Amino acid sequence: MNSKKKILKNAKEAYEDLLELYCDLCKTIGLVEAKEIINTIAQVVEEVKQNYFFPVSLSSVYDIHNQNADSITKETRVSAAKELYEWLASLLFQFEEANIVSMRPYMKVLEYGRTYIPYSLSLHWGEDYRKDKRFSHEKFYFAITSELYRKNEKEYEEYAQELRKEISSVRSIFPKEKALPKKFREHVQKEMMDSQREYQSYIEKNYAPIKHAFSNYNKRFQLYLHQRDEKLWIVMINGYESTMPECKVYPKEVDVMFRFHNVESEASRINRGGLAGYGDGYGIKYMFDEQSIHHELNKIFVKYASEPDLLAYVMYILRGRLSNVKYVESRKEMIISDDIYIICLDESLTRDNVHDKIKACKNKYKGLILRFRPSQDMINMLQNANLSYICAEEMGNDIVNNQNGEMIHLYIKERISRLKIAKSENANPSAALLRQRLDKCPKGKEGWTEYEDIGADIFKYLFADDFRHFKYEIQSTTEDGIARRDMIVNNTYKTPPCFWEQMKEDYNAKVIIVDFKNYSKPLNTDVFYNVSKYFNDIVGHFAIIFSRNGLGSSAIKKQSKMLGENKLILCLTDTDIIEMIDCKERNQNPTDKLEEMYYTLCKKG
């Protein structure tokens, strides 16, 4: 392939270019030529990153790209080829709607390239993926090709010769995109646009003062379709920030699309994303129907309403259920059909204050009345104390689900003017999308870079409002060039007293070091301790680790020991992160979780 830089049109082209370059790298013998190929690979990968086509996980390729031409060896060339093979193979079945039939040409190209590497060297490619017997999409390719690794050298050479006869050129074997039937495409686009216009009109008419708080308002939607069978199409819906509503359907059927990533060349990140079925009773209008609007209206009201307004809303819903309700203002209690509940509509729940509430109940109370659904940890605490809870958000959702959304609509519409929502609210990333991106991100090497991107977006979403000038840097290198920190944040905390102020006072945290560890297992002592090597008297002695599965037992002991040395590293698991995103979405302070973790760690010390 020509090393001249080209502009990529879409994710399919990017993936195919990388496959072709991988084959070129496997086939070439000259080290100078290999270096040129690797430089071209690095250029393509940069475009993949800029357009957010799919997650990138490469290290050897970048190491070679950043070195002098004469530093490449036969061993480093093979190492880079192996890394490309494993990365591209692990991506293959993570593409939405990928299956063995549609991906067969790409599978052949991956093996075709590998046959040019000596048998003894390529035999162990993908070995780490094959060892883990648990199913995952990133391991699926290695599972279905496992018989190839059991061939002896003679059998493998015979297989290689057959494959080379079949593939005269790599580019010719790639599947061509099929055009969508014009009338069908126009029908889908018109249906989506008509639904979007009705949605815009309904919100403008009824909720104009808070229209920007609705997640699909003024969005630009790009739709990508793939036919699953004769009656059903799968639609991937990508939404972007915009100043006016728009909807377009990609004119061709798409196989290579990675969820929550761009399909076409696009400098913007997806702000809303999802999958839907179309045909055979399925439709995409659900995003814009009245039930969806009323669900979000309830969510917005519960999030932003003052405590008195929300209390009145709860009583309105309960009386609509024909419950006998009495509010005792002096004691912040509500009596519902002889059961007494403590009202906690304006409190951020933590383990400690829930524990205090439980102690205060003393068999007098049935439970708590809350703004939002509590975490599972809180629910378990309440259940163990034989207490229940009533959640304002869930009650509203139940009414909408029971086809009584008009009841919610009429009540909230009259009180719209009381809600104070900043116009910039809609500029924040979608909490739902962040949760989905985190859930979708594969653990381990193949999702390493993607996890860093997601982690940075999550940190910004959770904490940017806490700082006067939120300034951060990704992959920040120390002055001596030795250490490279995943993310640092300038600690210009906004309002004392706060958690960030305490970190600056106690640990001299002029910057906040954030490290992203995408390991599939809990972190061991060495990995955990390595983060502390970034500490010094200039940046301080505080860091936060994002770790998918937290810390192992030895690392937990090390964490406590370091606290005694006046060094603090807090570790956030996926569960912790989701809980904090939920908290932020409910307009509560996610640093409460950090304070709780710090307090728990101090108690152990």
Q: What is the CATH number of domain 431-604?
A: 3.40.1350.10
DSSP secondary structure string for all residues of 528-580:
HHHHGGG-BTTTBSEEEEEETT-B-HHHHHHHHHHHHTT-EEEEE-HHHHHHH
CA-atom Rg of the chain in angstroms = 27
Q: What is the pLDDT of residue 136?
A: 84
Place of tokens 């305490």: 502
pTM of the model: 0.75
Amino acid code (one letter) for 416: I
Enumerate the H helices of 52-166 as residue ranges.
Answer: 60-65, 74-92, 100-114, 119-122, 127-131, 137-144, 153-166
Taking residue 457's Cβ as centre, other Cβ atoms within 10 Å add up to 16
Instruction: Check residue 434 and give left, alpha or beta (phi > 0: left; psi -120 to 50: alpha).
Output: alpha
Closest CA to 565 of 507, 502, 483, 511: 507
Beta strands 511-517 and 233-240: pairing type?
unpaired
Total residues found in the chain within this entry: 605
Cα–Cα distances (Å) from 188 to 182, 195, 231, 489, in that order, read 10, 11, 14, 45
Q: What is the pLDDT of residue 117?
A: 94
What are the b/e assignments for 323-351, b being 16+ CB within 10 Å? eeeeeeeeebbbebeeebbbbbbebbbbe
DSSP 415: T
* Low-confidence stretches of the chain (pLDDT beneath 50): 1-4, 424-427, 476-483
Place of tokens 């040395």: 565
Q: What is the pLDDT of residue 293?
A: 95
Cα–Cα distances (Å) from 572 to 144, 469, 514, in that order, read 35, 24, 11
Distance CA 539, CA 130 (A): 42
Distance CA 474, CA 452 (A): 9
Closest CA to 94 of 226, 253, 255: 255
Closest CA to 529 of 566, 502, 504, 554: 554
Q: What is the pLDDT of residue 425?
A: 43
Q: Does domain 300-424 have CATH number 3.40.1000?
A: no
Closest CA to 591 of 513, 483, 503: 503
Q: What is the pLDDT of residue 348?
A: 65
378: enclosing H helix or E strand:
helix 376-384
Q: Where are the CATH 3.40.1350.10 domain residues in the chain?
A: 431-604
